Chains A and B, each alone.
Chain A
């Protein structure tokens, strides 16, 4: 109690240093992305760009112009937005039904969803990609159905966990006043669900946006590449990898995520917390 102020300042300085170190890997990539191609090598990654090695925006221009970067960005954005929107809408409807209707179907759906959360993806990866091929669900424009199916577990589980705490009387009142179940859902339940929507949305966005294995197996890699696929593909391809544009590419994919995070960090951390506690 006595020297709270003094020790507090010590801690602040200590954590400031740790945080600076914590950010270093990302800063390192940013610095390297500003160097000229021929100065990027294994042993000099830590060196700061100097007047001699500084490349300006050259790597960024190259990254955007080549490698199908913009295409990949579009696919990644499209897949993430469509999948998350579909998951939020369908799973919340499903969760409402199974918490309000008590029969064996509801119980079974709930149990299956809880079960699917522990199953590792490797268990279904081969058969899932074959099923997707057979049903022609193998383009960025309809892969959201696969994501709905594989992501339903967590979403339904979280939504129904929250739904149990909403008083049923409000919905009953709406139904007695003549709302159909659909109207009740969209006019009464949907607005109440907003905080949970944000939580589930954050978790599913983090998953879909960063997912590598599922799109690799389902999509045709020669035609469609999401951003994680693009980065892995160019590292794995034979011949010399152009490090400069590669670094620029990483910066361009990481920075938007960080900016969005800084803008909405309150929601994101809350969402993750809610997800962890329910899970």
Chain B
């Protein structure tokens, strides 16, 4: 069968592969090359070596947005996963209405980041104005926590679904055995359930960390980086370097930042996967 199928490559693979080259491979390679050039369009690129990288690293807004993103990612990952896991634990007990609750918690995932950011901007501004605090566009602290609340609201449902599936796969005999052996509920949770759902934890951590680092739409819609770039995350910083700054040097610097960003995301994703995979137990 393999032989008969082999010569059908043009029909089966070529359409996808051609689009993949147009939509991903070629832009990726060109992006790598352009990060070493000074350019405003692809045609007038002039090779300048590592100059863009040096300027990207010394650009203070890039450093600021890096630390902002890191602190956002750490806090939001912890908040989302702790909340999602607790809700999942509660919803896997026999309580009435579990399905309805799951449905409600998952719903925000279906709404786009731009719309969500806008809705929450209205809500936060109303709260802030009734507290007499400055509005989001002038308030860095509110912007930071606003982003975390927004992301938690959107992602808790998604992660909860994954945790629920993981918890349902824990054999009840195992939990019962632990209870008979005299383990209290807390011990059962940490010594039995948690190790058994480690694969779900790996997935959820991976998703929340990469989502936090790549966050763009919500950031743009909720705070747009205001006040004065103080709530600008890496993805938005790169976007602004490309499209909001005038001067022929900025596109190259933006592309260099994008390459650094890409390497960063890949490194974090891989090291996280390795760290949590090693803690998974064989079932």
Contacts and interface: CB of A to CB of B under 8 A. Distances in A.
Interface string A134-146: 1101000000011
Interface string B155-175: 000100110010000000000
Given A212-B217, A254-B115, 6 more contacts: A12-B95, A109-B20, A121-B235, A122-B258, A123-B261, A235-B221
B107 interface: yes
Closest A-B pairs by Cβ, 6 of them: A149-B23, A210-B112, A149-B19, A127-B27, A45-B126, A97-B12
B31 A8 contact: no
Contacts of A29: 119, 122
24 contacts: A8-B93, A11-B90, A11-B95, A18-B101, A28-B119, A42-B122, A42-B125, A43-B126, A93-B11, A93-B12, A94-B13, A112-B24, A131-B30, A134-B42, A145-B22, A146-B19, A149-B23, A175-B1, A228-B115, A272-B109, A272-B158, A273-B162, A276-B207, A277-B203
A66 interface: no
Nearest to A145: B19
Interface stretch (A57-65, A191-199, A256-264): A256-264
A94 B42 CA distance: 31
B278 interface: no
B168 to A, nearest CB: 11
Bin the interface of chain A by size: 35 or more
Nearest to B99: A265
A254 B203 contact: no
Bin the interface of chain B by size: 35 or more
Contact of A118 (B30, B123, B125, B266): B266
Given A8-B93, A149-B24, A228-B115, A109 B19 contact: no
Nearest to B5: A181
Interface string A211-252: 111000000000000001001100100000000000000100
A265 B46 CA distance: 52
Contacts, number: 270
Nearest to B41: A130
Contacts of B129: 42-43
B97 A15 contact: yes
B251 to A, nearest CB: 7
Given A93-B16, A232-B220, A22 B242 contact: no
Nearest to B116: A25
Interface stretch (A48-56, A67-75, A150-158): A150-158
Nearest to B268: A118
